[in-house]
Structure 1
Amino acid sequence: MKRITILAYGLISYALFFVTFLYSIGFVGNLWVPRSIDSEPTLPLGSALLVNLGLLTLFALQHSGMARPAFKRWLTRFIPQAAERSTYVLLSTLFMAVLMLFWAPLGGGIWQAESHWAIVLLNSLYLASWGLLLYATFLINHFDLFGLRQVWSAFQKQPSKELKFVTPGLYRLIRHPIYLGWLGILWFTPTMTVTHLLFAVGASLYILVGIQLEERDLQAAHPEYAQYKRKVPALVPSFKRRLSSSHTSTAA
């Protein structure tokens, strides 16, 4: 029964994540959904600003804090090891849903693409950024990243081994293609409002801080990451510094 419960927990957590993931595409891009990042303002400017800054801060603290090894060790004193990643996914999903539910549009315009083709191009780049993000998760192991591998291993009564450090595909050109996808999601828009700018700046700052925290943990867990970091840029692909296949094999 415990194995079935853990598996069901992981599947439900992933299903909720995927639904929220799909809705967030429309929310950030002002596409298809009834309430998006640039819906009509309903709060005074000062109140809306405080609400949004609070929501961004809460999401950043949860998303980054729960990813730290010390927090994971503390959490697994109370829940099964196999459910730890699914718990992270579930709470990240809930915090993202709360952010979208209570987000308070500010109004105001920064820029607006006028040309039809400029609008098509920016929206295409926006959607392509989501594609890049999703593709990058599958390169490193999508099902491990979202907790499914762990709960399935527990269901089969098999130990869930730690994955080795690997640098497949895009990871030979850039260390953080997932974060690069997020940056494209934040900034590729035909209509940049004050609301969207606040979201983009806040999330971009979080990404830059998150990279530092994540790489500190990766270097502690994988000594070979230091060499990888020296040879491969973080966010801007450089073909001159492309990681060779020999370095990839040693990293793996």
Structure 2
Amino acid sequence: MSALPQATAITARWGGILFGLGTHALFGLTVWRLFLFLQSPADGLWAGNQATNLLLSLLFVVPHSLLLHPSIRDRLTWIAGPFYGCFYTLVTIACLWCCFLGWRKDPLVLWQVPGVAAYMIQACFLGSWVALFYSIRLTGFGWQTGWTPWLAWFRGEPPPRRGFNPTGAYRYFRHPVYLSFLGLLWFSPVMTLDRAILVGTWTVYIFAGSLLKDQRLHFYLGDRYRDYQQQVPGYPLLGFGPWGRLAKDEEKPSTADAAVHTKPAAEVHRRAA
């Protein structure tokens, strides 16, 4: 009588194992392909209308933000908590590969930096990758890709908890990951038309996404994150405006409102990272 449910459970577990491992294997491959793509997206296989590139750029940024929104996350109840991070990573991978395979090259060069300056810009590009990995390490690689909650499920452990404790670069500005990614986009000695479309679209996304992330973390953490916003700007040299420090004289939500919005630490970082 119990053979069928047991077989179903075994199949589901093996499916979960393959899903987690396969997602992260694809993630590693995608990171390497992204490195090559950001070095020279103009090496795309196809020439054509640059509107296609704009759509491909948006294909990455729109799902990337929507899947992190609390209301969207709450509706996707068919995805178990330990697998949501992997699911999010898998969607990101699929969108990036659409960009890699469908990108349209354009020979029009908007500007080109020659000589020693070009090598310096390339060095800054590589430095941005170092800064990106450093920034992600501060918040936990496993939280960014979904590995940490998936590994806890695999081991049969309770969902891991993760506190909000800004360290390293996060003590000086709120969005070091976004800033590092800006470097990956802009540090290029050659700016072609198709690259300009990519850089422009993803730059807008980065600044808009950082505001959305502030809103998500304030929603989940309440006054604790608001206090952090008042002390630390979003980006270096931006001490004002929506990406600067939050004005201390702005009205805070009531304690009751903050209590409603505040979630357990594990929930906060699973949904808002």
| 1:22-101 equivalences in 2 (<5 Å) | 22-30=32-40, 37-39=41-43, 42-44=46-48, 48-75=49-76, 77-101=77-101
Q: Which amino acid aligns with 2:87?
A: T
Specify the structure having the higher radius of gyration (Cα): 2
Report Cα offsets for 1:123-166 as digits up to 9, x if no partner.
11001111111111111111121111111111122221342112
CA distance in 1, matches of 2:237, 2:170: 10
Question: Cα offset for 1:238?
Answer: 7.9
Uncovered stretches (5+) of structure 1, i.e. residues with no partner: 31-36, 243-251
Query: TM-score normalised to the size of structure 2?
Result: 0.79
Q: Which amino acid aligns with 2:97?
A: A
Q: Which amino acid aligns with 2:155?
A: Q
Partner-residue secondary structure (3-state), 2:114: coil
Give the RMSD, CA atoms, in angstroms. 2.1
2:46–2:102 CA contact under 8 A, matched in 1: no
CA distance in 2, matches of 1:175, 1:57: 24
Question: Cα offset for 1:188?
Answer: 0.5
Q: How many residues align?
A: 231
Sequence identity of aligned pairs in percent? 27
Uncovered stretches (5+) of structure 2, i.e. residues with no partner: 1-9, 246-264, 266-273
1:7–1:152 CA contact under 8 A, matched in 2: no
Moved over 6 A (4+): none
Q: Which amino acid aligns with 2:53?
A: N
Q: Measured at CA, do residues 157 and 55 of structure 1 come closer, stay the same or move farther in structure 2, by a change above 3 Å?
A: same
Question: Cα offset for 1:227?
Answer: 1.2
Report Cα offsets for 1:206-235 as digits up to 9, x if no partner.
111111111101001112111111111112
1:40–1:107 CA contact under 8 A, matched in 2: no
Report Cα offsets for 1:58-86 as digits up to 9, x if no partner.
211111111112222222x2122111110
Q: Measured at CA, do residues 176 and 149 of structure 1 come closer, stay the same or move farther in structure 2, by a change above 3 Å?
A: same
Partner-residue secondary structure (3-state), 2:164: coil
Query: TM-score normalised to the size of structure 1?
Result: 0.85
1:183–1:204 CA contact under 8 A, matched in 2: yes
